[in-house]
A and B are shown apart, each in its own frame.
Chain A
Amino acid sequence: MAEELKKDALVQIDYKPPKKGWMDTPVEFRHGTYIYPARAKNLKYLDLPNPREWSPTDEDWKLPENWKEIVINGMKERLDKYRSFKVYMDICVRCGACADKCQFFIGGGDPKNMPVLRAELIRSVYRGNFTAAGKILGRVNGARKLTTDVIKEWFYYFYQCTECRRCSVFCPYGIDTAEITMMGRELLTLLGVNVNWVIEPVANCYRTGNHLGIQPHALMDMFEMMLDDIKDRTGIKIEPTFNRKGAEILFITPSADYFAEPGMYTCMGYLMLFHELGLDYTWSTYASEGGNFGLFTSHEMIKRLNAKMYAEAKRLGVKWILGGECGHMWRVVHQYMGTLNGPADFLEEPVSPITGTKFENAKSTKMVHIAEFTADLIKNNKLRLDPGRNDKLRVTFHDSCNPARAMGIFEEPRYIIKNVCNNFFEMPENTTREQTFCCGGGAGLGTDEMMEMRMRGGMPRANAVQYVHDKHDVNRLTCMCAIDRATLTTLMEYWVPDVKVTGIHELVANALVMKGEKERIVDIRGEPLKEEKGGDNV
């Protein structure tokens, strides 16, 4: 501490950063900007390499002896397997169009958080080892040697990228930093350089079916509590089924929806909606996780975790799968599941049993997004809705990165929101839809030890929320992602404390008029439906 003060004595106001090139600026691990390493027991459970106890602040990271060989061979293998990786290593012209598109650069200003430079961290090693010009010309051609400092840099910056793909939207060649980050993390995984916030959920999910490691009986317990709450608020006792063979639909949502606030309110929304529809569906304790932190580890891990969805659908003999509100889960379901674990020829092309609508856009993967499902219900007048019950809420909508830039599901959620509440306000145009800002905690960054970095990366999002809060009195931020529901809550607590976070189906639950319900005086959170006005007894 004293040393810090000495270094930064107040008089030094004309501080200028060292004028060194980026290759000569090693990483400094500062608390709040990096994630704790994966515990050995978790790596062991998953049969991942080099389980050990270590810390990023250690000088020696206890890498395997032949670590260089592992990385170079790993790169070669991936260059041969992924055209994306190969092409993106070669064609960047460093035009800088992406430079100011990353929320971590916008919020913090660290030049290595410019997407182009994040990619150059790997490209420089690629040039030095895989291109003739790089091998001969070395640094002149932007190549560099693979050293432990490079590995440290990779660890630091590939875990400061949320794989949100915002930069990819602006790149004239569509270079996707998420793809680069994923490769970087795969290479790090080969060395056992992982973060616990990702690997522990992966291990838990592998074993128990969900991220928190909730065992089946405990899971039932959580549902019991939610069902009690629903009964308390609506007077209706719902009895969902679990692991039931012969159901028409298997429903899968991120586990965060049934163990954490405010996700549970969204989950209660699903339960109420399906009950009201009389939907023939089942939950599963084996496939009790929609999320897939494999996406933040390696392609192989995506497959290992995702396999459960189809396996369970097959075992239970359902016709198709319905998926809850989640971001990266939908990146996996939409862009990877069919390829990795398909073909789903044991399932049927999804048809809504309520409206008869065929979901033709899901005819191969056979998994439908809940927003598509509910929007269709509303369009066909199958729900009795009283949007007035959401009148105390002034709502805006955050497009979550993956549904936005890996699916393009923009209108469905907006259609639902506009039908279940009366006060909806869009955030400014360059902060929504395909240009949406990340919550700052995606891709396995959403842990408390990363708090400072998350608040930094989430600042552009919060700033836009602040704007609609000031202008339209917005007090509710809706989103369609479990990670968002967790991280935006914290983000709002810091930047715009008056705004609470909610899932779409929580709003649906409030507005849904159910058969045989009692008069609703509280919303699904148990808070009074109407604003309490001086002395009024609610």
Chain B
Amino acid sequence: MKILAAFILVLVLAAIPYAGIQYAGMTTVFGIIIPYAAVIIFIVGVVYRIVKWARSPVPFRITTTCGQEKSLPWIKQNKLDNPSGTAGVVGRMALEILCFRSLFRNTRSELRDGPRLSYGSTVWLWLAAIAFHWSFLVILIRHFRLFSQPVPHFINVLENVDGFLQIGIPTLYITDILLLAAVLYLLLRRIALPQIRYISLIADYFPLFVIFGIGLSGVLMRYFYRVNVIGVKELVMGLIAFKPHVPPDIGTLFYIHLFLIATLFAYFPFSKLMHMGGVFLSPTRNLANNNRMVRHINPWNYPVHVHTYAEYEDEFRDKMKSVGLPVEKE
């Protein structure tokens, strides 16, 4: 049900620009107004969310330690999994963000038994997650070709690397395939594993379908139904120079692509996709485990009722004296 709802929602979303362009010719709306609006929502929304998070203080240093602490000099500390200083924390966060280290932890296993090949879904989860996020990034960077004139050298290099297989004309980008395959895997995994399906919300399927739609429309544009790339670049350059104008005959497919991207951008700040920012703010990962070395300050630490020694002694003085315990007041 949830899956179907998310799927239909994305179909409807894709149909909107199709109808708008095909039948109403609303190129300004879909080429200029909506992209601008989406970017504004994205920036304002993301900043708002991050500021909102950052305004809540971190009252305690609650690092999750995954390796040996720094203690006696002859005991080897695990500086990445249990950092005691900034360098270690940066290293830990880098591993976390660039390599999804914690997710990878799932895969470490041994003594598997049974005659059959082990299922190992967790290995695939890590792989798919890595493939998905990195492909997404590379594709995003490749798109900078449309944002810059002249095209920076590194983008050409990246494109060459990405297309090193040299298959087909235009050259097939590996990341295109990886992205679609990874999204598909993540989607199927969510549907196929009962325990994951049970915890999934529409908000989990929706972004996957949107991203798949973006990828698919992009692939179709590049490899099958060519659109007017010169026109696309003109449009994009106009948008970023704040002199927007819409060149004619770009192709409806492009507007679908653009609209889905706009949807993703506008949806981003309201959704779990904010994990991109949140991962940097997770107190169990971004703090050094040096609690006993450096005092962590809690800005709202307030006085509480305690049971003082004096109250304790008042209650038990006679009994304490009877067994020879020293007392403050006789």
Interface size on A, residues (CB 8 A): 107
Given A117-B199, A217-B323, A408-B82, A334 contacting B295 (CB threshold 8 A): no
Question: Are A94 and B72 within 8 A (Cβ)?
Answer: no
B47 shortest CB reach to chain A, Å? 15
Q: Which of A215-261 contact B (CB under 8 A)?
A: 215-217, 220-221, 242-245
Whether the pair B75, A411 counts as a contact (CB closer than 8 A) is yes
Beta-carbon contact of A176 and B78 below 8 Å: no
Q: Is the Cβ of A339 less than 8 Å from the Cβ of B274?
A: no
Are B278 and A173 in contact (CB-based, < 8 A)?
A: yes
Q: Measured between alpha carbons, how far is A79 from B283 in the docked complex, in Å?
A: 14
Measured in the bound complex, the distance between the Cα atoms of B292 and A342 in whole Å is 11
Q: Is B281 within 8 A of A97, CB to CB? A: no
How far, in angstroms, from A386 to B220 measured CA to CA in the complex?
76
* 1/0 contact string of A128-140 vs chain B (CB within 8 Å): 0001110000001
By a CB distance below 8 angstroms, the chain A residues around B279 are 91, 172-174
Q: Flag if A87 contacts B282 (CB, 8 Å).
A: yes
Q: Is the CB of B110 within 8 A of A428?
A: yes
A511 is an interface residue with CB less than 8 A from chain B: no
Contacts of A86 in B (CB 8 A): 52-53, 56
Q: Which of A309-338 contact B (CB under 8 A)?
A: 311-312, 315, 333-336, 338
Chain B residues closer than 8 Å to A359, beta-carbon distance: 71-72
Chain B residues with CB under 8 Å of A92's CB are 272, 275
Contact B111 A428 (CB under 8 A): yes
CA distance A404 to B293 in the complex (A): 18
A338 to B105, CA, bound (A): 31
- State which of B166-174, B209-217, B234-242, B308-316 sits at the interface with chain A: B308-316
B277: nearest chain-A partner, CB-CB: A91
- Residues A165 and B60 in contact, CB atoms below 8 Å apart: no
Q: Which residues of A have CB within 8 Å of B274?
A: 90-91
Q: Is the CB of A175 within 8 A of B282?
A: yes
Q: Does chain A have a CB within 8 A of B159? A: no
Pick the contact of A99 from B59, B61, B195, B285 — CB < 8 Å?
A: B195
Which residues of A (100-148) have their CB < 8 Å from a CB of B? 100, 111, 114, 116-117, 120, 131-133, 140-142
Check B322 for interface membership: any CB of A closer than 8 A: yes
- A99 close to B325 (CB less than 8 A): no
Closest-CB distance, A44 to chain B (whole angstroms): 14
Among A57-65, A186-194, A372-380, the one that faces the other chain is A372-380
- Inter-chain CA distance A142–B313, complex, in Å, is 54
**A29 in contact (CB, < 8 A):** no
* A338–B70 alpha-carbon span in the complex (Å): 18
B202's partner among A88, A100, A141, A334 (CB-CB below 8 A) is A141
Query: A472 at the A/B interface (Cβ < 8 Å)?
Result: no
Is A520's CB within 8 Å of the partner chain B?
Answer: no
CA distance A1 to B217 in the complex (A): 61
A157 at the interface (CB under 8 A from B): no
Q: In the bound complex, how far is the Cα of B49 from the Cα of A385, in angstroms?
A: 59
Q: Tell me, in angstroms, the Cα distance from A286 to B319 when the chains sit together.
A: 13
Q: A79-B56, A84-B58 are in contact. Are A364 and B295 (CB under 8 A)?
A: yes
- Which residue, A116, A245, A338, A428, has most C-beta atoms of chain B within 10 A? A338
Count of chain B residues with a beta carbon within 8 Å of a chain A beta carbon: 93
Find chain A residues with CB under 8 A from B69 CB. 361, 407-410
Contact A173 B199 (CB under 8 A): no
Contact of B64 among A22, A90, A176, A215 (CB under 8 A): A176
| Cβ-defined contact, A94 with B105, below 8 A | no
Stretch at the interface among A67-75, A299-307, A485-493: A299-307
B72 x A372 contact (CB < 8 A): yes
Is A370 in contact with chain B by the CB < 8 A criterion? no
Residues 243-295 of B contacting A (Cβ, < 8 Å): 270-272, 274-275, 278-279, 281-285, 289-295
B301 near A168: Cβ-Cβ < 8 Å = no
In the complex the two chains form, is A90's CB within 8 Å of B293's CB?
no
Q: Chain A residue with minimal CB distance to B296?
A: A339
Contact B203 A84 (CB under 8 A): no
Closest to A245 in B: B326
Assembled-state Cα–Cα distance A478/B296 (Å) = 32
Q: List the A side residues contacting B201 at CB < 8 Å.
A: 94, 141-142
Contact A315–B62 (Cβ < 8 Å): no
* B151 CB-CB contact with A under 8 Å: no
Q: Which residues of chain A are within 8 angstroms of B193 by Cβ–Cβ distance?
A: 96
Q: Give complex CA distance A415, B72 in Å.
A: 12
Q: Check A83–B202 contact: CB distance below 8 A.
A: no
- Contacts of A343-365 to chain B: CB distance below 8 A: 343, 357, 359-365
Select B291's contact among A175, A334, A372, beta carbons within 8 Å: A334
- Given the complex of chains A and B, what is the CA–CA distance between A206 and B100 in angstroms? 44
Q: Closest chain A residue to B284 by CB distance? A: A174
Q: Which residues of A contact B200 (CB under 8 A)?
A: 94
- Residues of B near A176 (CB, < 8 A) are 62, 64, 284
Q: Which of B270, B292, B326 contacts A243 (CB 8 A)?
A: B326
Q: List 28 A-B contacts (CB under 8 A).
A: A82-B56, A82-B59, A83-B58, A91-B275, A94-B272, A96-B193, A96-B199, A97-B102, A97-B106, A97-B125, A141-B203, A142-B202, A173-B279, A175-B284, A206-B307, A215-B316, A216-B323, A217-B325, A338-B296, A361-B71, A361-B290, A361-B292, A365-B292, A408-B67, A408-B78, A412-B71, A412-B72, A435-B105
10 more CB-based (< 8 A) A-B contacts, given A94-B272, A169-B102, A217-B322: A97-B103, A97-B122, A170-B105, A174-B96, A216-B319, A243-B326, A339-B298, A375-B72, A408-B289, A433-B67
Binding site for B on A (CB under 8 A): 21-22, 47, 79-88, 90-97, 99-100, 111, 114, 116-117, 120, 131-133, 140-142, 165, 168-176, 179, 206-209, 215-217, 220-221, 242-245, 285-286, 299-300, 303-304, 307-308, 311-312, 315, 333-336, 338-340, 342-343, 357, 359-365, 367, 372, 375-376, 379, 404-412, 415, 428-430, 433-435
